[in-house]
Amino acid sequence: MDGEPAVRARGLTKRYGDVTAVDAMELDVPVGVAFGLLGPNGAGKTTFMRMLFGLVRPDAGSVEVFGRNVADHGVAALAPVAGFVESPRFYPYLSGRANLEVLARLDQPYGDGPDIDLVLETVDLTDRQRSRVREYSYGMVQRLGVAAALLRNPQLLVVDEPTNGLDPAGIRDMRELIARLAGSGITVLLSSHNMLEVEQVCDRVAIMRRGGIAFDGSITDLRAMADDVGYRLTTEDDRRALELCEHTPGLHRLELGLDGLRFEASQSAVEDLTRRLGAAGIGTRELAARTTALETLFFRLTESRSEVLM
């Protein structure tokens, strides 16, 4: 299996009526990396993952897992894969543990399953394992989802916005858990619309936009592309400041909002701007970075109307 990527999508396409959810997508997820699939709402992340899991049939193209086509090999191709799309779902009338027992049986009909106690311990649900899932909080269900995935002892873990809906502590724990799993040699494919999360957890990233891939590379590559930061500026006279900004080189996406001026700029362009404001006698009240460099890049990649940047 050497050289085969963990996931390979070629010309992968899925249409729902008029909407092309995934559009001739090409992607390789190398073995052993933590791969972030980043994209705004509706970019097609979930649809891609559903096709990866064989839940949804592609209209065109293929997706392979460790070299085996999911459409042709079905469950056999998916043997090394586990995870969930959107929020994990369980039988509410069964306990967390009973849910895992049921799923373990569907993994290995003859029993000899992996250790349910161990995975419950890993996601910190040992205390509540006997409670019905109906009584679980959102974060507990999310953790049970990870436990259910670990039960399969996967080589590839696919998780769709795993921190969605969690509180700050839950988000921190989930990210730590995923980073730990990725560190243990499992290939992780994680979707998110949070740049920061992908930056923290992943070493490679693909950015999806309207069903296609707008960027694919390492986080380092992405950082190299990211130079402009989003700023917010308020002055004693925003109209004059706007005029001045329009004539300052290196400022992009300039707009006047209710809370002041917004623009994207490199560090040197901002320095230049402050000098010009001073020279023009316009007093600055506030100059703040709205977004990190990577976030700005993310918005640029996913919102621009221009064609794919790669």
Partner 1 sequence: MSSTTAVFRVEWRKLAAQPRLRAGFAVLLIAPWLFIALVLHQDRLPVETLYGRYLKDSGFATPLVVLVFSTQWIFPLIASLISGDVFSSEDAHGTWKTVLTRSVSRGEMFWGKVAAAFTATVAAVVVLGTSATLAGVALVGSQPLVNVGGVLVPARSALGHVALSWLVVLPPVLAFAALAIAVSILTRSSVLGVLVPVVIGLVMQMYVFLNAWDTVRHVLLNSPMNAWRGLFDTPAYTDPLERGLLVALAYLAASIAISLIAFHRRDITGG
Ligand X SMILES: Nc1ncnc2c1ncn2[C@@H]1O[C@H](COP(=O)(O)OP(=O)(O)OP(=O)(O)O)[C@@H](O)[C@H]1O
Q: Taking CB under 5 A as the rule, does residue 155 contact Mg ion?
A: no
Q: Residue 125: enclosing H or E segment and its boundaries?
A: none
Out of 48, 66, 84, 298, the only residue in the binding site for partner 1 (CB under 8 A) is: 84
Please choose, out of 60-68, 75-83, 194-202, 207-215, the segment that lies near partner 1 by the rule CB under 8 A. 75-83
Q: Find the binder of partner 1 among 105, 172, 239, 285 (CB under 8 A).
A: 105
Nearer of residues 38 and 70 to partner 1, judged by Cβ: 70
Residue 177 DSSP label: H
Judged by beta carbon distances under 5 to 8 A according to partner kind, the member of partner 1, Mg ion, ligand X, none in contact with residue 290 is none
What is the C-alpha to C-alpha distance for residues 163 and 55, in angstroms, rounded to an integer? Answer: 22
The yes or no reply on residue 102 touching partner 1 (CB under 8 A) is yes
- What single string gives the DSSP state of each residue in 268-282? HHHHHHHHHHHHTTP
Among 6, 9, 27, 47, binds ligand X (CB under 6 A): 47
Contact status: 252 vs partner 1 (CB under 8 A): no
Choice from 13, 46, 163, 296 touching ligand X (CB under 6 A): 46
Stretch that binds partner 1, among 47-55, 201-209, 240-248, 282-290 (CB under 8 A): 47-55
By a kind-dependent CB cut-off of 5 to 8 A, residue 75 interacts, out of partner 1, ligand X, Mg ion, none, with partner 1
42 binds ligand X (CB under 6 A): yes
Asked if residue 95 binds Mg ion (CB under 5 A), the reply is no
Residues linked to residue 20 through DSSP beta bridges, in sequence order: 15
Least separation in angstroms between residue 288's CB and partner 1 is: 41
Q: Where are the beta strands (DSSP E) in 136-248?
A: 156-160, 187-192, 204-209, 212-218, 229-235
Q: Minimum distance from CB of 39 to Mg ion (Å)?
A: 9
Laid out side by side, the sheet with 284-289 consists of 251-257, 260-265, 229-235, 284-289
Tell me whether residue 52 or residue 181 sits nearer to ligand X (CB atom).
52
- Residues between 186 and 205 with contacts to ligand X, criterion CB under 6 A: 193
Q: Is 46 in the site for Mg ion (CB under 5 A)?
A: yes
Residue 5 makes contact with ligand X by CB under 6 A: no
Q: What is the footprint of partner 1 within residues 144-203 (CB under 8 A)?
A: 148, 152
Are 39 and 207 spatial neighbours (Cβ–Cβ below 8 Å)?
A: yes
- Residue 159: partners with Cβ closer than 8 Å, 6 or more residues away: 83, 84, 145, 146, 149, 178, 188, 189, 190, 191
Are residues 157 and 187 in contact, defined by beta-carbon separation less than 8 angstroms?
yes
Q: Which two tokens stand for residue 287?
A: 């100059």
Rounded to a whole number of angstroms, the minimum distance from the CB of residue 237 to partner 1 is: 53
| N-to-C CA span, the chain | 29
Which residues is 232 bridged to in the sheet?
A: 262, 288
Residue 41 binds to ligand X (criterion: CB under 6 A): yes
Residue among 33 and 43 whose Cβ is closer to ligand X? 43
Strand pairing report for 212-218 and 251-257? unpaired
209 binds ligand X (CB under 6 A): no
**Across the chain, which distance is largest between two alpha carbons, in Å?**
80
111's tokens: 């029993």
Is 283 in a helix, a strand, or coil? coil
- Residue 193 interaction partner, one of Mg ion, ligand X, partner 1, none, beta carbon < 5-8 Å per kind: ligand X
What size, in residues, is the chain? 310
By CB under 8 A, name the binding residues for partner 1.
50, 53-57, 74-75, 78-79, 81-86, 88-94, 98, 102-103, 105-110, 148, 152
